[in-house]
Amino acid sequence: MLLAAAVTILPGCQPDAQLPETADSNRKKTGPSRIAVMAPAVAEILDALDAIDLIAAIGDFVEWPLQITTLPRIGAYDKPNLELVLRLEVDLMITVRSDAGRNTNQRMRDLGVAVLELDTDTYEGVLESMEIVGELVGREGEARKLVSDIRDRIEKVSERSSTAVRRSVLFVVGQRPLYAAGPGSHIDLLIKAAGGRNIFADAMSPYQLVSMEAALERMPEVIIDVSDNRPGAMRGVKSGFWGQWNFLPAVSHNRVYWIDPLRLAIPGPRMPEMAELLAKLIHPEIFGAVSDRDLQSPGGDAR
């Protein structure tokens, strides 16, 4: 199963509102020096902004970049280890906004640790988060350029796929129960840019619990399954679990892809590469076929 956090994140963040009154009044001028990162996307953002050295601890769901995975882990996003956070002298925890984490986050603030809650669940939310984090760590210009470059590169993929027939795509983030990427998610936008049509674009949330019956009835022409993040999990172009429904166009046309979630599931600076990979999966006749390496962890055997 893909990490549970991927389907429980709630949108919305105002950065100033999340800084507690007990925080150092000079923090916004000097910036944080020891950050605990609970949101996987934020770890990649800090890396892209050349501020990865500020990360002092990570949450249980942070698996990339590889160089920070040896740092102390402070628990799940909704239950961080407060004692360990204080022992590590963290001055800012960056997390995702959620009802589940609300009480713990407030307790963290009461103890004098700033807590910044970001929307990393939607495409626009992630881009906004890049600028917020850039301002916090004194990399405003770099963050703005990063956002601009991401938009430009994804637009180029969209232009190249603009004349292609829109193939219907099922993007699976959890299998038991079945969760699919829905509207507002970075996946939904990237599927469109890559010349596809998300079969659950009409869902109620960016990551939606759906019935198997609904998925089968919508007859996806492409199935992209990132639901298994275990080491040694199946990867490649093969029907696998979905092969039992051989009437699906995705199965009969050999367009079922099993991919390491690190390739596609974490929104952030790598979204242009994700768009390019999705384009290969959906329209190999235009963008070229994928290689086995494209479907494995970006860390290779290290994962």
Q: What is the pLDDT of residues 240-255, one digit of tens each?
A: 999 999 999 999 999 9
Residue 241 and residue 132 share a domain:
no
Look at residue 189 and tell me if it is in a domain. yes
Question: Are residue 49 and residue 123 in the same domain, yes or no?
Answer: yes
Quote the Cα angle for 135-67-48, to 5°: 30
- Helix then strand then coil, in percent of the chain rounded to 5, is 40, 15, 40
pLDDT score recorded for residue 30: 64
Strands (E), the chain: 35-37, 55-58, 75-76, 79-80, 92-96, 114-118, 167-174, 179-181, 196-198, 207-209, 222-225, 236-237, 256-258
- What are 25's two structure tokens? 């009044």
- Vertex 195 angle, CA 189 and 197, to 5°: 65
Answer yes or no: do 133 and 242 share one domain: no
Q: Is residue 153 part of a domain?
A: no
Say whether pLDDT at 59 is over 90. yes
The count of domains in the chain is 2
Residues 104 and 10 in one domain: yes
| Same domain for 297 and 184 | yes
Asked if the structure places residue 47 within a domain, the reply is yes
Bridge pairing between strands 79-80 and 75-76: antiparallel
Q: Which domain holds residue 99?
A: 4-138
- Whether 84 and 121 map to the same domain: the answer is yes
Share above pLDDT 90 across residues of the chain, in percent, rounded to a whole number: 71
pLDDT digits (tens, 9 = 90+) for 125-165: 999 999 999 999 999 999 999 999 999 999 999 999 999 99
Task: Let me know if residue 158 belongs to a domain.
Answer: no
Write out the two tokens for 112.
């004098």
Domain boundary among 138, 153, 175: 138
Tokens in use for 91? Answer: 């001055």
State the pLDDT at residue 8: 30
Strand 167-174, strand 179-181: pairing = antiparallel
| 186 assigned to some structural domain | yes
The answer as to whether 157 is a domain residue is no
Same domain, 43 and 85: yes
Residue 231 has which token pair? 């080491």
Return the pLDDT at 14: 38
**Diameter of the chain by CA atoms?**
62
Whole-angstrom distance, CA of residue 203 vs CA of residue 183: 6
Please give the helix or strand (H or E) that residue 125 lies within, else none.
helix 123-136
Domain CATH number, residue 34: 3.40.50.1980
Same domain, 120 and 196: no
pLDDT tens digits for range 10-48 = 333 334 334 333 333 333 456 789 999 999 999 999 999
Comparing C-alpha atoms, which of 210, 211, 264, 209 is closest to residue 235? 264
Q: How far is CA 242 from CA 29, 121, 163, 208, in A?
A: 53, 27, 29, 19
Instruction: Determine the pLDDT at residue 148.
Output: 97
Distance CA 235, CA 39 (A): 25
> CA–CA separation, 165 vs 183, rounded Å?
20
Write the single-letter amino acid at 131.
E
Residue 226, domain member (yes or no): yes
Check whether residue 176 and residue 49 sit in a common domain: no
Tell me the average pLDDT of the chain.
87
In a domain, 148, yes or no: no
Q: pTM of this prediction?
A: 0.84
What are the φ and ψ backbone dihedral angles of 289, each rounded to 5 degrees?
Answer: -75, 155
Domain boundary among 122, 138, 154: 138
Instruction: Specify the amino acid at residue 197.
Output: R
Q: Indicate whether 123 and 235 sit together in one domain.
A: no
Same domain, 271 and 174: yes
Do 110 and 184 reside in the same domain of the chain? no
